[in-house]
Structure 1
Amino acid sequence: MNKTNKNLPYILLLAPALIGYVIFAIVPIFLSFFYSLTDFDGISSSYSFIGLNNYKTAFQDDRFFYSIKVTLLITVISCIVINVAALVLAMLLNSLRKLKGLFRLLVFYPQILSFVVVGFVWSYIYNYNTGVLNYVLQIMSLDSFMQDWLGDQQLVIFSIIFVIVWQSLGFYTVIYLAALQTVPQDVVEAATIDGASKLQQFKAVIFPLLSPSFTINWILCFISGLKTYDVVKVMTDGGPGFTTETIAFNIISQAFVSNKQGYASALAIILFLFVAAMSIVQVVYLRKREVEA
């Protein structure tokens, strides 16, 4: 029996997944690049090749650069808050003696809800006139803290960031919790015997051992943040004005509202390259940091 015949069962098992990946991931990337070189509007069957004009337009478009700024703001702030809060929560859950399962369920529960559902729920909570948040502030005689949470240009981005953190926190907490349970207790006990404080134990022993999980969480969170769309669409539709318009929102708006499929494809390719570049840089840096730790 030759080598090809031996590998045939494995090839047949991999084939459906590989074919699906090619059709739904690889082919769309090449089609997007193809259409980014045209003036295709997404409706008519005729279109013209315009070379790199869509890319030139993108880099001269203030709206596109503003969407990059909004996306990076949401991504960086949410990733920092999520990782800090998730690590703290994981350590608290890991130290519990009773009701561990219940508290883990409560922390993870928002993660099972889609951003569309979460966005609708929090839109009602944030509503200025009928929302629960302002109602609670009112009955507590804190009227001065009542805000138009989704209408104020200074607050709206932070309102969205809070929702992203609330929905995503459980997932990243579980990863940190799993990593904490692999930390050798004899190492921690040795540090305690040597007189190390809790903070010193965390800095010198626990956190270095959590570096791989931090790398995973940060990369996943960063990539997710750069693709933020659904929660913005549901809660603000990019408003007020273009205040909460992310790159993904801008791409979809250009494609299906303005009927500029060619231009939207160019923006999508730029986003793809940006995400790939940022991911590679962060992985290299964080992996190097793991080794040093």
Structure 2
Amino acid sequence: MDKKLIGVDLGGTTIKFAILTENGDIQQKWSVETNILDEGSHIVPDIVASINHHLDLYKMDKDQFIGIGMGTPGTVDVEKGTVVGAYNLNWKTLQNVKAEIEAGTGIKFAVDNDANSAALGESWKGAGDNAKEVVFVTLGTGVGGGVVTDGKLVHGMGAGGEIGHINVHPGGFECTCGNKGCLETYASATGVVRVARAMAEEFAGKSHLKEAVDNGEEVTSKLVFDLAKDGDKLADMVVDRVCYYLGLAAANLGSTLNPQYIVIGGGVSAAGRFLLDRVDKYFQEFAFPTVRTSTTLKLAELGNDAGVIGAASLALQFK
């Protein structure tokens, strides 16, 4: 009988689960709400209970599984299987997730950071086309990502792949990390709005975006990109500024790592080719000549499934 994998994508509002084949094809999916009450003490028991319940439901046995892999926010010790500092989960103290989940399910367990897991998913079954060298950049509320080289995640001394904190504008916008000018402050969903507000102050022409900012209306990154596509001059300038910083960061990543693909995902990437083509223009301008011809920028393909697929791939180490 073919062995299966379980992938878990742990988020602040939802925990997504999937049962996959060894080749990474999803066979079953479900999700439960994340209960962060009582310092997140319900999260691991809820994960164990949900996995055990669904194995009963599908009449499956723990021996049918190679392992469970999970992507989580916070700082992860991959070797020990612990997580700390996942504040959106209310996990303030060290969590022994590996020991608890293995004890509760009887299945081997591996864990990594959620952005790293999504990077593995895209590199394995998505836009990365199962290449050995892939960089994944995810543009959401912040900017995350992961670096896959020789088919394995780069962890460094623990902070490898912190793509959102590449400095693209020294002395620029202040970041939550304490530095100024991080990519995250310009290219995340909140960063796009920040750029729009800053540029609206200096813009004197006619613009729907400027009117929205000046009138105190809600401005989102989607609105900025939609207005830019419709020809709004200020919105177009904002998008160009954001893509400049993304292209600069991508060029630096390319010149450092020379991956086969740099994959861009996350909510902001919903702008599609309109975003990618502009980022690529600046990438071509700033990258090392050899990198321009050997590294390709692509849009992510897996959407919300990247996390569970990449997490499941962590369990392949137990084969």
Range of TM-score over shorter length = under 0.3
TM-score (structure 1 length as normaliser): 0.24
TM-score (structure 2 length as normaliser): 0.22
Return the structure number with greater strand share: 2
Task: Specify which structure has the bigger relative contact order, considering alpha-carbon pairs within 8 angstroms and separated by 6 or more residues.
Answer: 1
> Which structure would you say has the larger Rg?
1
Return the structure number with greater helix share: 1
